């Protein structure tokens, strides 16, 4: 690699500038590194990622309907401006009728979903019945809240159970848990709040809910550099789960949909 060196007389050392985000400071013996990271120009979100950690970037959302719920997400995983995975699955199954949409650090959210899936499996064996969405959400909330200083995770827990039917719980950064009429999250969510407020109405049927999810996520993918790839959706009802994906050249809005 190439680097620029600058001598610092008062410090009795030198600074080696590698690129826009990395520099090294050496003592005069050229052996001691004082600093090797430069966060200038990085967003607060990027600063919270651990070295080498990838971000799911992300647009995620969930909408309940009479008899179930629809979850949707894009598929881009990024490390800064580099796309590490263009077809990842950000919708994780926690139980038979409960799913989770992941945003934030890929490693953190995968670990969280693995823990919650394990705990729910144990609970199912002990009680002899399927857990509720509320139980899954509060398990996730507890893990997120009690480890909020070490995690970068915003998730949506949604699904169907015999108590509440279709329900959606939003757990943003920090570990707050809120039951919502619909939920949207990730870096692409800021672009589509107005669209969803305009298009969403209570009492949507399954097909209307899935169509709205795809439309909203496609709009976010067109505007947000951290979101992209394909759209994955899951329709959850008492009768089962229906997974679906929309390829990048068949989006309802954007480069493939103009």
Active site residue 22: no
Residues 183 and 224: their CA atoms lie apart, in Å, by 18
Residues 85 and 87: their CA atoms lie apart, in Å, by 6
Decide: residue 6, CB within 10 A, 0-12 exposed, 13-18 middle, 19+ buried: exposed
Selected catalytic residue, list 58, 59, 109, 135: 58
Residues annotated as part of the active site: 58
């Amino acid at each position: 690699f190439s680097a620029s060196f600058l001598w610092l007389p008062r410090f009795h050392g030198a600074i080696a500038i590698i690129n826009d985000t990395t520099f090294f400071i050496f003592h005069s013996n050229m052996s001691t590194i004082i600093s090797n990271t430069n966060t200038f120009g990085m967003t607060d979100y990027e600063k919270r990622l651990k070295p080498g950690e990838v971000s799911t970037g992300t647009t995620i959302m969930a909408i309940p309907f009479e008899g179930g719920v629809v979850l949707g997400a894009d598929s881009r995983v990024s490390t800064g401006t580099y796309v590490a995975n263009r077809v990842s699955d950000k919708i994780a199954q926690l139980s038979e009728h409960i799913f989770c949409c992941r945003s934030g650090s890929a490693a953190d959210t995968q670990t969280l979903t693995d823990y919650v899936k394990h705990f729910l499996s144990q609970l199912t064996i002990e009680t002899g019945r399927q857990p509720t969405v509320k139980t899954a959400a509060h398990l996730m909330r507890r893990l997120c809240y009690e480890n909020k200083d070490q995690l970068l995770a915003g998730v949506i827990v949604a699904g169907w159970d015999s108590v509440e039917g279709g329900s959606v719980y939003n757990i943003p950064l920090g570990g707050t848990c809120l039951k919502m009429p619909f939920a949207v999250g990730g870096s692409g969510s800021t672009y589509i709040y107005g669209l969803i407020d305009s298009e969403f109405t209570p009492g949507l049927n399954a097909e209307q809910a899935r169509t709205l999810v795809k439309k909203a996520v496609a709009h976010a993918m067109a505007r947000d550099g951290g979101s992209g790839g394909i759209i994955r959706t899951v329709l959850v009802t008492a009768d089962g789960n229906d997974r679906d994906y929309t390829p990048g050249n068949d989006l309802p809005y954007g480069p493939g949909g103009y």
